[in-house]
Amino acid sequence: MAAMVVEPCTTQALPELFEKFADWYRFNPRLRERNFFDWQFKNAPTRLSDDEYDFLILRNDQGAITGCLGFAGFEFKCDGRLQTGAWTHNWYAQEQREGGLALLLRFFEIVDNRFMLRFNRNAARVFALLKIPMRAAVPRWWAVTDVNIATDLFRPDAEQRAAFARSADAMAQAEAAGDVTAVTRFNPADEFTLAHLGDGIRLPRRTGGYLNWRYFDIPRHRYRAIRSEQGFAVYRVEAVMGTDHNVLRILEWTFGKESDSALALIRSETAAEKPLFLDFSCTCPRAARALEKSGFVRDGETTKPLPDLFRPLNYSGGYALGIDLPPHRTTRAVDFASWYITTGDSDVDRVKL
């Protein structure tokens, strides 16, 4: 086996790394922009290493970069204690299968609480050997506001079209109230918990400072937010490639009794874009319970699948999730439903082309 070296990424390595990204991540040009890379791997609120970037590169015996693995830290509360975890990002090994494992094992040396969202079958086989608890897909809920356009785009069967109609009818009945307002940023000192949704929910910590970094400081993205005293939501509008239509992606949703009012406010705020479809992926059914009362349908309740990507329409089958907490490499069970994890975590929702 050729010699391999795993080392921290530095500013000097970025020109070569970005050249590799042009091939490895050609559909994600944002990743090759210095301000975006710095935002994600250098300026995150929770840093995990003392290196210039929370990003590893793999070099072959000739010194060329042949792989990488990025990671982003976060705080979370579990069993009454504040702990530090990390999401993996951009795990890639070009030449050697052993190189990918070398990157992963170096990441394991840096952080004990490891979270992986959206990975392929090859990664799942590695995780299975390491006895990492996994879920095949994060649960997803969707709603329709325009039955006719959704029918033209998604070609539903009779069962699904009936669900479209029920969803649109319920969505149309939502009425706004003054207890939910739009915000452009959060107070950095604020902290949102899910105590109002019940006991025992674990979540990556949602402080105002973290949310501002994740959603409002990210270069060349536009997210919008609303909040009440206890709950908040973050969402964005996305064009359906090749059409004049839009969908609305919800990244955060923690409303309880104000859920109906929050939906009405979002529809008012996005009236000019006329989103025909809304969706929300989350491990915690309690966070989506109020949405179901307002017309959202849990994915899988109809036989025919719906697209979950819209640039272009694509049926990915969902986002696999792995949670690797100590004790490692032992058979463990994770109650994924007790966690609040959404596509706003990790890098799943970064806008590509």
pLDDT at residue 311 in the model: 85
Q: pTM score > 0.75 for this model?
A: yes
- Partners of residue 92 on adjacent β-strands: 68
> pLDDT (tens digit, 9 = 90+) per residue, 11-39?
999 999 999 999 999 989 999 999 999 99
Q: Which amino acid, 133?
A: P
Does position 250 have pLDDT exceeding 90, yes or no? Answer: yes
For residue 331, what are the CA distances in angstroms to 136, 225, 283, 335?
17, 40, 21, 14
Say how far apart CA 123 and CA 128 lie, in whole Å.
9
Question: What would you report as the CA-atom Rg of the chain, rounded to the nearest whole angstrom?
Answer: 21
Nearest of 185, 296, 219, 314 to residue 250 by alpha carbon: 296
Question: What is the per-residue pLDDT across 101-119, written as a single tens digit (0 to 9) for each?
Answer: 999 999 999 999 999 999 9
Domains 5-112 and 140-314 fall in the same CATH topology: yes
**Chain segment 124-143, per-residue pLDDT in tens:** 999 999 999 999 999 999 99
pLDDT of residue 218: 95
* Class in CATH terms, 5-112: alpha beta
Q: Residue 333: CA atoms inside 13 Å, Cβ hemisphere, count?
A: 3
List of E strands, the chain: 5-8, 55-59, 65-78, 81-93, 114-117, 134-135, 140-144, 181-183, 191-192, 203-204, 206-207, 224-227, 232-239, 246-253, 277-281, 297-298, 309-310, 313-314, 321-324
Tell me how far apart the alpha carbons of residues 237 and 79 are, in angstroms, rounded to a whole number.
Answer: 36
Question: Which tokens belong to 74?
Answer: 């976060």
Confidence at 331, pLDDT banded by 50, 70, 90: very high
The pairing of strands 5-8 and 55-59 is antiparallel
Tell me the per-residue pLDDT of 187-246, one tens digit each, with 9 for 90 and over.
999 999 999 999 999 999 999 999 999 999 999 999 999 999 999 999 999 999 999 999
Domain ranges for the chain, please list them: 5-112, 140-314
Q: What is the pLDDT of residues 39-73, one digit of tens each?
A: 999 999 999 999 999 999 999 999 999 999 999 99
* The pLDDT value given to residue 108: 97
CA-based nearest residue to 325, from 79, 4, 67: 79
Residue 275 CB contacts under 8 Å (≥ 6 apart), including other chains: 145, 237, 246, 247, 248
Closest C-alpha among 145, 143, 178, 161 to residue 290: 143
Q: How many CB atoms lie within 10 A of CB 352?
A: 12
Question: How large is the average pLDDT for residues 240-269?
Answer: 94
Between CA 12 and CA 131 the distance in angstroms is 37
User: From the CB of residue 184, how many other CB atoms can be counted at a distance below 10 Å?
Assistant: 8
Contacts of 30 (CB under 8 A, 6+ apart): 36, 219, 220, 350, 351, 352
φ, ψ of residue 92 in degrees (nearest 5) = -150, 135
| Residues facing 203 on adjacent strands | 77
pLDDT grade, residue 353 (50/70/90)?
A: low
Per-residue pLDDT at 1: 47
pLDDT tens for each residue of 141-190: 999 999 999 999 999 999 999 999 999 999 998 887 778 999 999 999 99
pLDDT score recorded for residue 191: 95
Q: Selecting from 3.40.50, 3.40.630, 2.40.170, 1.10.10, what CATH number does the domain 140-314 have?
A: 3.40.630
For residue range 277-330, list pLDDT tens digits in order: 999 999 999 999 989 989 999 999 999 999 998 988 988 888 999 999 999 999
